[in-house]
Structure 1
Amino acid sequence: MYNPLHSINELDVLVVGAGFSGIYQLYHIRKLGYSVKIFEAASDLGGVWFNNNYPGCRVDSDHPHYQFSLPELWGDFTWKERYPSARELRDYFQYVDRKLDVKNDVFFDTRVVAAHFDEAISRWIVTTEQGHVVRPRFLVLCVGFASKSYTPQFKGLEKFKGIWYHTAHWPKDDVELTNKRVGVIGTGASGVQVIQEAGPIASHLTVFQRTPNMALPMRQKVLESKMQEEQRMLNPSIFRRSRQTGGGFSFERYPKSLFSATPEERLLYWEDTWAQGGFHFTASNFNDFLMDEAANREVYSFWRDKVRNRILDPKLQEILAPTVPPHPLGAKRCSLEQSYYEVFNQPNVTLIDLNQTDISEVTSKGVTTTNGIEHELDVLVLATGFDSLTGSLTQIDIRGVDGISISEKWANGVYTNLGMTCTNFPNMFFIYGVQAPTAFANGPTLIEIQGDWVVRCIKHMMENDLKAIYATPEAEAEWRGLVINTGYRALINRAKSWYVGANIPGKIVEPLNYTGGVNKYLEIIEGIADRGYEGFYFNGCSSPGKGFSPQDLCE
């Protein structure tokens, strides 16, 4: 049987992943006339939005921020909701394909398992799970920051006779939760979304919580087509403005420190941003609330009181919105919710505080806690998160010119240059990953910013016949230092979270995101390119690039 993959041998560019970033790369590289293909492990477009099917799954960036900024894509697509569901986003990716003919250059069900760089030919040797080999000049990894799920080693999980799934591996066919005894372990983003859906329909819902989620009101609404037609006139300004702000949205921090404002000014402003919903409350808050602990505590107190007003039981108020915060607000990702707190007012819902009584083991019937109680279940949902930011790359056997894998390189701490490249891994770029503003940015905004930089670099090399680009160890160490130093100054890193890798046993705990803001990040990386790719060298020469002309570059 003919497999078109057999006809692919050498490419200018191989992109891995067919989500937002992979499609953006394909679109721009193809426009330049270079040979480019995407290898995608799944069977269709969408990346995380194709793979995630759990109940309630939806995006937490509001319309119109969560879409491509390409004019040919926002001109005639009508969104249904302010915060689209995974199903609607899958429809959007099919629309993108119809407009851009994406699938013609995508190989689906093609998982990349290994890649190593051959300096003799200045190409990557990439191997798929099926054993196919392709030799691209450039390797662009668009695998996202959360493609490696994490399941804790629960004792006895294999004995459970009911149905259990990690939210990241939810089947395409719906799992029946109606009139079932459902247990959810974890109250991160996917946990919050599943709990909202399961609470009203389950015969009983048991939630196992270790750390309360400081969730924010989504303020979901149906979008009218007429409103969107008027909105489209502003889209170019919204997309440009999103590159000028710290969070990659069109709204920005309040330009004052918290205690420089009067109590009345603070209260009225908070009420306004709270009413707007979504990340307006955090992304538009006072400019020092993520840097000053006293300011953060004031913001937390406002959040706590708002939430407690929705919870009837004083004991549950203290578990879900404690008097003393377990960590600064924003140090763990604030999920968006619609009816999350009301669910706990229902008589069919039990909240287990794992700080008081932990999980002992999973039995054939359910989950037993250390107080000896067995919680019988029909369905067990593991909302236990991901080996975020690094795991997406380290699960692939990627080896540089020294034979060392990316997993080995990062075993004792992450080193990248600009959160897009690594020393000894020439001609390899990764997007929306570690040591970029990833966790603190609107996804499409950062993806397009990094994507533009990568495309510009590839174009520069192709036009000047430069065979390979290497990040210098000095530049890599400098970027790591910037990420670490700015990260530790922010309250964001004062929690045991995936922001710092603390959710994965044995993983080095350190800041894994650049916290200086999307706008500052854009300024830095564009300046690097403008100065002739300062901090890099080409074709194996020992001098870092500083605006060299082609004839000056080593061959």
Structure 2
Amino acid sequence: MTRDDSHLVVDAIVIGGGFGGCNSLYKLRNLGLSVKLIEAGGAFGGVWYWNRYPGARVDTEMPSYQFNIPAVYKRWDWSERFPGDDELRRYFQHVDSVLGLSRDTFFNTIVTGVQYDNGTGRWNVSTDAGLTASCKYVIAATGSSYKKHCPHFNGLENYTGQLIHSADYPKHLDVKGKRVGIIGNGASGLQIVQNLAKEDCQLNVFIRTPCFAIPMKQRSIPPEEAEMMKGYYDGIFERSYNSASGFPHNTIFQSALQANPEERKELFDELWARGGYSFLVSNYYDFLLNEKANSIFYDYWVKQVRARMTDPAKMDLVAPLKQHMLVGTKRPSLEQDYYEMIDRPNVTLHDLKNSPIIEFDATGVATGNSQVSQHHELDVLIFATGYDAVTGSLLDLSIVDKNQVPLAEKWKNGVLTHLGLMVPDAPNLFIVYGPQAPTSLANGPPFIEKEVDWICKAISKMQQEGITAIEPTQNAAEAWREQVVAVSQNTLYPKTDSWYMGANIPGKRREPLIYLGGMQSWWKACMNSLHSWEGFATSI
């Protein structure tokens, strides 16, 4: 089918083909709406379509990271506790084959404009492929991790080696005998390092802020175990929906300060051996609220890490005995053998706080200062520098509201949404996995299902009541922003510069981008708003 220069007139347009977009398309179609999905990539998967670097894998364990759709999961068995990117792409292909999502999807198409037409009461959507659309509802499911962040360095344009961003990793990259540099020490950087370190290359890891990583404890899942677990899926999904974080883990409502050292060590040892995020989400609740409790976590962690390494200088850089970070206030990572791999002789760690990057030239990079510098020859340079997270992809849609005000202008003094779901003066525009909702601090699929469920409930209620449009009031959005800020200030998150706070992008406003009150508090507010459209203006 040729889709160039086509014009669609439909009930709803969904933007983005990850978990949020696929779930939206599926559930909106079930409401009887005419729906089309527009996706920038060549297939479904969202971040799992783009992430193809060595070692890329999800850090939420199965079976809680998937769609709760029996028709999908009854014929799908996960092969690993933490599946890799290849398996996740195959999963999305399976989802498509079961649900028939492709027939309503335009791939390799980037949305370039979303503008409200007051005359028709509809949204006009434009794309780079010539496709245009008119719709009543827009669901912006662009995700938190799409717009790549490539930092500026002096002289980078002069570098003649191979330059790669982790989200654009080539299908084949031969590093044998090469000098490889990697900048960025988050989840993608960690996964790339622990894989490339095993190759016959000289790996230079440039570290400004050491990561906080805990054991993944990866393992294979035999087919019979995967099938057996389906008997528990209802309980696992229900637990995920009703938890604060979207994870089905056990929780402890006890302060770390109330337990004695022996009790703490017993619990820490148990959760550390269990692997995954159990060490954080099944542990004492107050490590993100109290610095003294946080330091207890750090002291345990640093001993575990240093025991796995032999090089004292490397230990002092990545796991110094004196606490250098607040545990959990940047995105925690799961590792398999990261600390053993950076301890290898073919891996050199560069401390960018003491010797920052000065400039690049044709053959590599100089670090140090104006008095003393060192040049590092690099054949390959990898940016694992993440994304303009949470808001970047939304702003790139060039959304213009009913008053002809661009979203970028509306948010120049801070993000403003109601419940992280809608924006004032933008009728029937819904956001999935965006700012001011639990989003990146919740397990994605269960949280996304709650968001999409609310959108469907709202549309159904509109249809029943003869309402043509809803939009949040300015007062409601301002009150929600105040609540997002207030909850954040009761935690340790604001004490750290992270993408949770918008602090990873130069010039980006520093503010809490994630609602930290948990899924249950957020969901209660969402459901209360549906009773009598509290916080919303309606149009007949």
Secondary structure of 2:486's counterpart equals: helix
Amino acid at match of 1:303: W
Change beyond 3 A, Cα 1:252–1:432: farther
Amino acid at match of 1:532: S
Q: Equivalents in 1 of 2:96, 2:177: separation in Å?
A: 39
* 1:360-401 deviation digits (Å, cap 9, x = unpaired): 112211111124211111110001111111111111211101
User: Does structure 2 conserve the Cα–Cα contact (< 8 Å) formed by 1:366 and 1:374?
Assistant: yes
Counterpart-to-counterpart distance in 2, 1:157 and 1:471: 45
TM-score by length of 1: 0.95
Partner of 1:318: 316
Aligned twin of 1:29: 28
Instruction: Supply the distance in 2 between the matched residues of 1:423 and 1:337 (Cα, whole angstroms).
Output: 41
Deviation at 1:9, TM superposition (A): 2.5
Are 1:376 and 2:416 an aligned pair?
A: no
Measured after TM superposition, the shift of residue 12 of structure 1 is: 0.6
Q: Give, as a single letter, the amino acid of the residue that structure 2 aligns with 1:474.
A: N
Please state if 1:46 is matched with 2:33.
Answer: no
Match of 2:426 in 1: 425
**For 1:131, what is the secondary structure of its paired residue?**
coil
**Partner Cα distance (2:173, 2:409) in 1:** 39
Deviates more, 1:7-16 or 1:264-273: 7-16
Equivalents in 2 of 1:179, 1:448: separation in Å? 47
Identity %: 40
Deviations 1:275-303 (A, max 9, x none): 11111101111011110110111011111
1:203-222 deviation line (CA, Å, top 9, x unaligned): 20000000110101100001
The equivalent residue for 2:111 is 112
* 1:503 corresponding residue in structure 2: 504
CA contact (8 A) 2:64 2:237 kept: yes
How much does 1:467 deviate? 1.5
Quote how far apart the aligned CAs of 1:468 are.
1.1
The residue number in structure 2 matching 1:205 is 203
The 8 Å contact of residues 5 and 129 in structure 2, kept in 1 or not, is answered as: no
Looking at structure 2, the residues matched to 463 and 113 of structure 1 have their Cα atoms a distance apart, in angstroms, of: 33
Cα-to-partner distance string for 1:463-486 (whole Å, 9 max, x where unaligned): 333211110011101110010010
- Where in structure 2 are the equivalents of 1:164-243 lying within 5 Å? 164-171=163-170, 173-243=171-241
Q: What does residue 544 of structure 1 align with? A: none
Aligned residue for 1:552? none
Instruction: Quote the RMSD (CA, aligned, Å).
Output: 1.3
What is the match of residue 334 of structure 2?
336
SS in 2 for 1:445: helix
Distance 1:19 1:73 in 2: 16
One-letter code aligned to 1:436: A
Q: Aligned equivalents of 1:253 and 1:381: distance in 2?
A: 38
In the alignment, structure 1 residue 525 sits paired with structure 2 residue 523: no
Conserved in 1, the CA contact under 8 Å of 2:193 and 2:342?
no
Q: Secondary structure at the match of 1:164?
A: strand
Q: 2: distance between equivalents of 1:291 and 1:250?
A: 22
SS in 2 for 1:84: coil
Residues 489-516 of structure 1 show CA distances to partners (whole Å, capped at 9, x for unaligned) of 1112221110101111111111111001
User: How far does the alpha carbon of each residue in 1:306-357 deviate from its partner, in whole angstroms, 9 at most, with x for none?
Assistant: 1111111222111101222222100101111111111122111100000110
Amino acid at match of 1:132: L
Corresponding residue for residue 84 of structure 2: 85
Contact kept, 8 Å, 1:327 with 1:494, in 2: the verdict is no
- The alignment covers a number of residue pairs equal to 537
One-letter amino acid matched to 1:289: F
Distance 2:13 2:248 in 1: 32
Q: Quote how far apart the aligned CAs of 1:8 are.
A: 4.2
Structure 1 CA distance for aligned equivalents of residues 454 and 36 of structure 2: 19
The separation in 2 between residues aligned to 1:168 and 1:404, in whole angstroms, is: 32
Shift, 1:135, TM fit: 0.6
Q: CA deviation at 1:252?
A: 4.1
- Give the drift of 1:5: 5.9
Mark the CA change 1:7 to 1:466 in structure 2 (over 3 Å): closer, same or farther: farther
Whole-angstrom CA distance in 2 between matches of 1:269 and 1:10: 57
Residues 1:96 and 2:95 are matched in the alignment: yes
> Which secondary structure state, in structure 2, belongs to the residue aligned with residue 499 of structure 1?
helix
Aligned to 2:150: 151
Q: How does 1:381-400 map to 2 (within 5 A)?
A: 381-400=382-401
Q: Residues of 1 paired with 2:524 and 2:168: CA distance?
A: 38
Q: Tell me whether 1:538 sits opposite 2:534 in the alignment.
A: no
Moved more, 455-464 or 344-353: 455-464
The answer to whether the Cα contact below 8 Å between 2:469 and 2:538 also exists between their aligned partners in 1 is yes
Unaligned runs of 5+ in 2: none
1:93-148: CA deviations, max 9, x gaps?
Answer: 01111111111110111110101111221100111112332111000011101111
Instruction: Kindly provide the CA deviation profile for residues 40-69 of structure 1, in whole angstroms up to 9, marking residues without a partner as x.
Output: 111111111011111111111001111101
Change beyond 3 A, Cα 1:536–1:309: same
Mapped to 1, the partners of 2:246 and 2:4 lie a distance apart of: 37
Paired AA for residue 274 in structure 1: W
- Residue number among 277, 289, 311 corresponding to 2:287 in the alignment: 289
SS in 2 for 1:153: coil
